[in-house]
Structure 1
Amino acid sequence: MTGSTFSRDELVEAFAVFEGTVDRAAQTRDWDPWVDQYTDDILYIEHAAGTMRGREQVRPWIWKTMESFPGNYMTSFPSLWHVIDEDTGRIICELDNPMRDPGDGTIISATNISILTYAGDGRWRQQEDIYNPLRFVSAAVKWCRKAEELGTLPDEAAEWMAKYGGKR
């Protein structure tokens, strides 16, 4: 795809709105506004979960992912850097996924690369998340072990750890 009809200023503004909406979703735990930024026919490529087509396939996945461990212990999703590709109408960024403090101020997180393709009118027509799922598992295991050491491990995380965390 070449020849985007979107100006750099429009892409910059749309990405700033995207980041603000994602931040509010993380703070309020209301994931609908995040999903509502996508076009009705969004193509969402998530390498571990698969490819979803349409907002109404993305919506239940985001709610389930972000409201169960470890997603519900992620506090924000700030971009660490981004690149604007005006020719394709894309924003490529690295998103951080820090988890809440296990009790001693430790910050544990994992990152992913996201490629967002703009559709205009403040909507995104495609998102692809690229990452190593094992890094996310490793971060969640590290968080669980730290919380266990501190006596702050919630039951939900302990159950996840027993299922996916392996043996010590």
Structure 2
Amino acid sequence: MTRTSASPKAFTHDELAAAFQTFEQTVDRAAKTQDWDAWVAHYTDDITYVEHAAGTMHGRDEVREWIYRTMTVFPGSYMTAFPSLWTVIDEPTGRVICELDNPMRDPGDGTIISATNISIVTYAGDGKWSRQEDVYNPLRFVKATLKWCRKAAELGTLDAEAEAWMKQYGDKKTS
């Protein structure tokens, strides 16, 4: 059953947990394959996606365009997974609140460099999510990315795309 704002029906803890587990599995596959269409399919057609650095997107097409633009270039393309570190299931609102880790690929010596964000996703029923908001400090992501670039440069694994990003955003010591 799809929930509307006028519907008094709340989703059960089990339903929310199962839907979120499926959502996380889909995100994991997308991170590994860079095929984000299945992830976008978990949203309602009229999804509202609030991304504090990129703005608010409305509808699957806007979300799809943004995620491909973001995750197919450095640094997004170097993020290997998005596991939740913790989750809270809020049955009365149909929301799942979680902290997501955003680790980058190994620069060459096993180092794990990442930044986290808080995501709030609102369930609409039938395996679909009607709203997502990602809350984070963009500067923490810049610091983590620069740290990764410096480590890769030190190890001789910094490729041209990452080097260009580092030159554009400056390699000021930020950590």
Compute the TM-score of the two structures, normalised by the length of structure 2.
0.93
2:17 to 12, 18, 22: 12
Find the counterpart in structure 1 of residue 153 from structure 2: 148
- 1:163 corresponds to which of 159, 164, 168: 168
Decide which of 123, 126, 130 is 1:118's aligned counterpart: 123
**In the TM superposition, what are the counterparts of 1:71-110 in structure 2 within 5 Å?**
71-110=76-115
Residues 50 and 154 of structure 1, relative CA distance in 2, 3 Å threshold: same
1:139 pairs with one of 144, 147, 153: 144
Taking only the aligned residue pairs, the percentage that are identical comes to 71
For residues 142 and 166 of structure 1, what CA distance do their matches in structure 2 show?
Answer: 9
Q: Is the CA contact 1:4–1:88 (under 8 Å) kept in the aligned structure 2?
A: no
Distance 1:3 1:94 in 2: 28
Contact 1:4 1:86 in 2 (8 A): no
Provide the TM-score with structure 1 as the length reference.
Answer: 0.97
Listed one character per residue, the Cα deviations across residues 75-96 of structure 1 (whole Å, up to 9, x for unaligned) are: 0000000000000000000000
Superposed CA RMSD: 1.2
Aligned mates of 2:28, 2:54 — CA distance in 1: 22
Tell me how far 1:4 sits from its aligned partner: 4.6
Which residue pairs with 2:53 in the alignment? 48
Corresponding residue pairs, total = 168
Task: Return the offset for 1:6.
Answer: 1.1
Would you say the 8 A contact 1:45–1:128 is kept in 2? yes
1: distance between equivalents of 2:13 and 2:128? Answer: 15
Q: Deviations over 1:48-96 (max 9, x none)?
A: 0000000000001000100110000000000000000000000000000
**Unpaired segments of 5 or more residues in structure 1?**
none
Supply the AA of the counterpart residue of 2:110: G
Q: Distance in 2 between matches of 1:127 and 1:87?
A: 17
Cα offset, 1:116, TM superposition = 0.2
